[in-house]
């Protein structure tokens, strides 16, 4: 008979540390201490401006020499911020907004003068200089985007802005020739040149309709002059204007108790005009207003047929003169070796011409 021996391992028990239990007063004290530490720690993170910190207002941007625009401004901490994108769009300054709406770049007045307004860097690069801004000078709002404080426009771009709280108006003054001002000036110059040439641009043309007879208007008046111990004179006047046979017809009859119907006091004429025809443009029949330098006591009765249009006639004269090539694109001229032939409009009276000489410097 065989026996097997079994070995039994001895198990020893280890005593665990006793769990620390805090009462209610200890827990409250530790929570208060943690909150105080968090409040005293410096906050270096930049929080996003919430809607409760600012208020959107509508202001009127008055630009010197142009007029005004309605823009959306932001009022925060007794300061007014104007959106850069909207202001530059009104002034037609080149701009481009980044994909995340945190950077605006472009060129200011000149293609070589680049600028960058960066919200991540809190800086503005303009005129070859990098200017750092504080949180109170440049802010990125959710609705208006990058916005500068009103005084920063004059400091950075020379656009002096003054805000009037009573009228909610921002007055902008600058010594620069803004693109919008330059565009309006050139457009006005082109309009003046076209007007002097007789070119009129209209959106819709309405041709005149000629009628055989069409009623017009009638004016009448009655006068009575009474003098003590003297004669009494009564006068009456009747004027009728109408269209007859496609022409303007005016008849004025005058009666006086002293001279009755005197022929010299009666006015009547018929006038037909059409500037689209080439041979005959006007026909006048009846009493004609004379341009004689002699005294005529009886009116002229007859007819006038002419090809003179009813519009003011302008004539152009070809005058050889030197011209500055910088403004040559505004006029049509033929350039010669040293002189240019300009078709200048000749008006009645005296015409003043100003010639400016420019010397080309060659090296």
Distance CA 351, CA 150 (A): 47
- Give the separation between CA 249 and CA 334, rounded to whole angstroms: 48
β pairing state of 79-83 and 67-76: antiparallel
Containing 343, the helix (H) or strand (E) segment is strand 340-346
Angstrom CA distances, 206 to 139, 240, 246, 247, 280, stand at 55, 26, 16, 18, 21
pLDDT in tens, 257-287: 888 888 888 888 899 988 888 889 899 998 8
SS3 293: coil
d(C-alpha 330, C-alpha 322), whole Å: 15
For residue 337, pLDDT beyond 50: no
Between CA 81 and CA 170 the distance in angstroms is 11
| pTM metric for this prediction | 0.46
For residues 82 and 73, is the Cβ–Cβ distance under 8 A?
A: yes
Q: Helix or strand or coil: residue 327?
A: helix
Task: Report how far residue 137's alpha carbon sits from residue 149's, in angstroms, rounded to the nearest whole number.
Answer: 5
pLDDT of residue 336: 45
Residue 270's closest CA among 247, 290, 293?
Answer: 247
For residue 72, give the 3-state DSSP assignment. Answer: strand
What kind and span of H or E run contains 37? helix 24-40
Sequence-distant (≥ 6) Cβ neighbours of residue 217 within 8 angstroms? 240, 241
- Taking each helix axis from N to C terminus, what angle separates 84-91 and 179-197, rounded to the nearest 10 degrees? 20
Instruction: Give 217-251 pLDDT, tens digit per residue.
Output: 899 999 888 888 888 889 999 999 999 888 899 99
How much helix, strand and coil, in percent to the nearest 5, is found in the chain? 15, 40, 45
pLDDT of residue 238: 92
Are 172 and 159 spatial neighbours (Cβ–Cβ below 8 Å)? yes
CB neighbourhood size of 91 (10 A): 21
pLDDT of residue 73 exceeding 70, the answer is yes
Give the model confidence (pLDDT) of 133-167 as tens digits.
888 888 888 788 888 898 899 888 988 888 888 88
Residue 195: which pLDDT band, with cuts at 50, 70 and 90? confident
Q: Which of 8-17, 84-93, 299-308 has the lowest mean pLDDT?
A: 8-17
Domain boundaries, the chain: 55-181, 213-306, 315-363
**Residue 341 · residue 331 · CB < 8 Å:** no
Give Cα 37 to chain centroid, integer Å.
Answer: 58
Residue appearing with tokens 């207002």: 57
The two three-digit tokens of residue 311, written as one number: 């519009």
pLDDT at 193: 81
């Amino acid at each position: 008979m065989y026996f097997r021996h079994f070995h039994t391992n001895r198990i020893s028990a280890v005593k665990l540390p006793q769990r620390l239990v805090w009462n209610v007063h200890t827990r409250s004290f530790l929570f208060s201490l943690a909150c105080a530490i968090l409040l005293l720690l410096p906050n270096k993170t930049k929080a996003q401006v919430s809607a409760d910190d600012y208020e959107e207002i509508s202001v009127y941007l008055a630009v010197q020499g142009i007029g005004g625009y309605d823009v959306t401004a932001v009022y925060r901490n007794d300061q007014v911020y104007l959106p850069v994108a909207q202001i530059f769009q009104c002034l037609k300054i080149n701009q481009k907004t980044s994909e995340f709406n945190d950077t605006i770049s472009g060129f200011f007045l000149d293609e070589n003068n680049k600028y960058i307004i960066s919200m991540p860097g809190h800086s503005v690069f303009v005129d070859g200089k990098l200017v750092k801004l504080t949180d109170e000078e440049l802010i990125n709002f959710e609705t208006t985007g990058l916005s500068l404080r009103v005084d920063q426009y004059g400091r950075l771009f020379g656009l002096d802005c003054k805000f009037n709280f009573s009228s909610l108006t921002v007055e902008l003054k600058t010594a620069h020739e803004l693109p919008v001002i330059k565009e309006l000036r050139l457009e006005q110059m082109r309009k003046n040149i076209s007007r002097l040439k007789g070119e009129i641009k209209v959106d819709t043309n309405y041709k005149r309709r000629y009628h055989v007879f069409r009623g017009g208007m009638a004016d009448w008046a009655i006068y009575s002059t009474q003098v003590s111990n003297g004669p009494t004179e009564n006068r009456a006047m009747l004027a009728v204007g109408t269209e007859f046979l496609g022409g303007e017809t005016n008849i004025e009859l005058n009666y006086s108790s002293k001279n009755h119907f005197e022929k010299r006091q009666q006015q009547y004429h018929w006038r037909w005009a059409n500037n689209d025809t080439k041979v005959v443009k006007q026909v006048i029949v009846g009493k004609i207003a004379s341009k004689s330098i002699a005294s005529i006591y009886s009116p002229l009765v007859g007819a006038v047929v002419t090809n003179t249009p009813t519009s003011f006639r302008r004539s152009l004269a070809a005058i050889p003169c030197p011209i500055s090539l910088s403004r040559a694109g505004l006029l049509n001229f033929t350039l010669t070796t040293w002189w240019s032939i300009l078709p200048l409009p000749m008006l009645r009276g005296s015409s003043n011409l100003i010639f400016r000489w420019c010397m080309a410097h060659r090296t």
